[in-house]
Amino acid sequence: MKFVIYKDKLVESVQNVSKAVSSRTTIPILVGIKVVATDEGVIFTGSDSDISIESSVEKHENDQINVEVIQTGKIVLHARFFSEIVKKLPDKQVEIEVTDNFHTIVRSGKAEFNLIGLDAEEFPRLPEIEEGLSFQISNDLLKTIIRQTVFAVSTAESRPILTGVNWVIEKDLLTCIATDSHRLALRKAPISINPNKSFNVVIPGKSLTELNKLLDDNQEPVEVVFMENQIVFKTKNLLLFSRLLEGNYPDTSRLIPDESKTELTLQTKEFLQAIDRASLLAREGKHNIVKLSTLTNNTVEISSTSPEIGKAVEELQLERVEGEDLKISFSAKYMLDALKSLEEQELTISFTGAMRPFILHSINDQSQIQLILPIRTY
Amino acid sequence: MKFVIYKDKLVESVQNVSKAVSSRTTIPILVGIKVVATDEGVIFTGSDSDISIESSVEKHENDQINVEVIQTGKIVLHARFFSEIVKKLPDKQVEIEVTDNFHTIVRSGKAEFNLIGLDAEEFPRLPEIEEGLSFQISNDLLKTIIRQTVFAVSTAESRPILTGVNWVIEKDLLTCIATDSHRLALRKAPISINPNKSFNVVIPGKSLTELNKLLDDNQEPVEVVFMENQIVFKTKNLLLFSRLLEGNYPDTSRLIPDESKTELTLQTKEFLQAIDRASLLAREGKHNIVKLSTLTNNTVEISSTSPEIGKAVEELQLERVEGEDLKISFSAKYMLDALKSLEEQELTISFTGAMRPFILHSINDQSQIQLILPIRTY
């Protein structure tokens, strides 16, 4: 194998696939990045067996030469060292050559690295991507959907299925749900897919978090492909394979209340800052509890108490307070997470009593719901 | 105690004095910041008993009112909570009032925090600053001196005296020396002090690191005051007290060679980058060893080897190579630290054989010397 590649392209690809590489792998070859040079260009792959990322550098791109493959071939190079080395190479061009016994020479300017490579035949093969069972979505929207749901997955391993996000596709509608059983995030988005196909999968939260880091903020399309036990996200030069979680995701539809007894309409940012201040003292307590009480004149009081430190209290003028008086306690962290995920300047919180789950939603747009369970204190 | 203060001034002072507060203190009151309101303004103090920082907000500054003291008094408030709270207050003005039993109310806009304060009488008193035994130095120069020496102090507790920087003042010359017995940093600066006075103190590295963070990058003067067991750094609104290390600092003057057998003159940045690349593989080994060998035509070879990973080798064109041929090994980390501390574009390295300490110095300016002990490998 021998090729000459632009350093920028090399660094970008190696950094992208490194995101899938774990230093704590039980499969020795997975400490490495697979490099495959073909007549079409060079493909880099990193994997921790749950997630695999493949990044390709095509020979030509918009009349510009990215890479010149002198001899095809493949090798596996230690991910950590390889990625640190390529970042610090002195010249804008890099030559990579495999000689005998998987020995690999990385040359750039007057610097030369002789690396001990590993046999690429030992690297696990990624499954072939089947065509047909897929839909397209823009980078932007996919990133927003991830951001608005993934924070609510469970971090406890006691119910593994809850560490993933449930993606349900039915009749051109994608519904994404995450819950750790104390709160729930739900986001819907219309998509275009073969209307006879429906899917119900659970994608590990970690995979979606990595995908979010990998995608650019633009409107380019991402192809999402459903496969046996796997989901694949495919952009122009990137592929992310993630295994799916096995098991049935709980039915959460009955959790979401469809009536309300008290409704608040408020400025998201002002409310967020007030909760943030109250949470400074709440953080000491085990549950990070903040209290909210309706007052007169469209005003609420937000308060928190820590026996050792003191008490915080703040009155906040809202846009609208309607319905029954309410005193309710909840986790400041869950409230802050939910508020940060909402993009609207104004939002509505609908309560059905101090002991029932309440929901945050935008006034005009019903595509997103954040649900939080209160904490009993009164 | 009751005063109204501008939030910006409050946040700045509290952040400054928080740098001295440790969460792992054995003296309970030192988790707090002392706040003292007098007729002249408000003084904030934080301390971990090794370092104490005092920041004062004067009543008026350039015809602008910073603080209005309604009632003088003092209190101690929990440093971590107090500093987090002040940063997030909603209004640009803040009122702080102590009521009964050290209860303290922090008000800003519609937010109100009731904090449980501590008795300021229990807070250790800082020593009175004696006049006379002091000199002035600019912020800039003091920061540079710290940056060029403090990295070389020992982190091992086996010889506590080496965890400090030795400051010697003799005949209007300040000499600062730090060594961990594998390398040494020396920086001299002319100062103006009573010529009959000489000092020899050892300042904890940690105190100088904190001082460096505290000082602004400007040419304002800092007054350095020598006291019994203490040194004080004094700017317009800040005071940093540090205890001094007890014991005799070793005499290092004979370590520094005054002759040389091989001299290299080189571009600092180019050389630094080449060492940095070689160190990528060296890092795996216990001693982080990089080798340097002179070649012909003003060229040196920089190389490193890791049995598991591979080998890095690079030829570097220097400005000048003079004297005997040389093969020498040294710690890449020590070389990088030394190179980063030198501000000159070009520098000279003087060797007196592969087994003797070598020095890095600027071509024109002898005020700074970095010395490194080689490692035996050949």
User: Is B114 in Cβ contact with A90 (below 8 Å)?
Assistant: no
B32 pLDDT above the threshold of 80:
yes
Angle at A222 between CA A217 and CA A223, to 5 degrees: 170
Domains of chain A: 2-122 (3.10.150.10), 138-225+237-250 (3.10.150.10), 256-372 (3.70.10.10)
> Is B236 an interface residue toward A (CB < 8 Å)?
no
> Is A84 an interface residue toward B (CB < 8 Å)?
yes
**How confident is the model over A219-250, as pLDDT tens digits?**
899 999 999 899 999 999 999 999 999 999 99
B25 pLDDT above the threshold of 90:
no
Integer distance in angstroms from the first to the last C-alpha of chain B?
Answer: 71
For residues B63 and A105, the model is more confident at: A105
B54 pLDDT above the threshold of 80:
yes
A178 pLDDT above the threshold of 80:
yes
Distance CA A240, CA A231 (A): 8
Q: What type of residue is B291?
A: K
pLDDT bracket for residue A284 (50, 70, 90):
low
Q: Are strands B67-71 and A93-98 parallel, antiparallel or unpaired?
A: unpaired
In sequence order, what are the beta bridge partners of B58? B41
Distance CA B85, CA B80 (A): 9
Cα distances (Å, whole numbers) of residue B362 to A283, B146, B182: 52, 18, 21
Best to test chain B binding among A302, A311, A316, A336 (most B CBs inside 10 Å): A311
CA B204 to chain CA centroid, nearest Å: 9
**How confident is the model over A188-204, as pLDDT tens digits?**
999 988 767 889 999 99
Q: Is A281 helix (H, G, I), strand (E, B) or coil?
A: helix
Cα distances (Å, whole numbers) of residue B133 to A356, B139, B169, B192, B356: 70, 19, 12, 12, 40
Q: Which of A262, A249, A253, A250 is nearest to A374 (CA)?
A: A262
E strand residue ranges, A216-271: 221-227, 230-234, 238-243, 262-267
Distance CA A167, CA A165 (A): 6
User: Is A281 in Cβ contact with B112 (below 8 Å)?
Assistant: no
Q: What is the pLDDT of residue A192?
A: 86
Please count the other Cβ atoms lying within 10 Å of the Cβ belonging to residue B68.
Answer: 15
Distance, in angstroms, between B294 CA and closest chain A CA?
15
A–B: how many Cβ contacts below 8 A? 86
Angle at A174 between CA A172 and CA A177, to 5 degrees: 155
A378 pLDDT above the threshold of 60:
no
Q: H or E segment at A36?
A: strand A32-38
Q: Is B287 helix (H, G, I), strand (E, B) or coil?
A: coil
Q: Which of A109, A106, A58 is nearest to A86 (CA)?
A: A106
Length of chain B: 378
CA A102 to chain CA centroid, nearest Å: 36
**How confident is the model over B276-289, as pLDDT tens digits?**
999 998 876 667 89
Instruction: Give A118's DSSP letter.
Output: B
Question: Quick one: what percent of chain A has pLDDT higher than 90?
Answer: 81
Best to test chain A binding among B106, B309, B313 (most A CBs inside 10 Å): B309
H helix runs in B285-359, sequence order: 332-341
* Chain B environment of A89 (Cβ under 8 Å): 277
Residue A332 tokens, joined:
């400041």
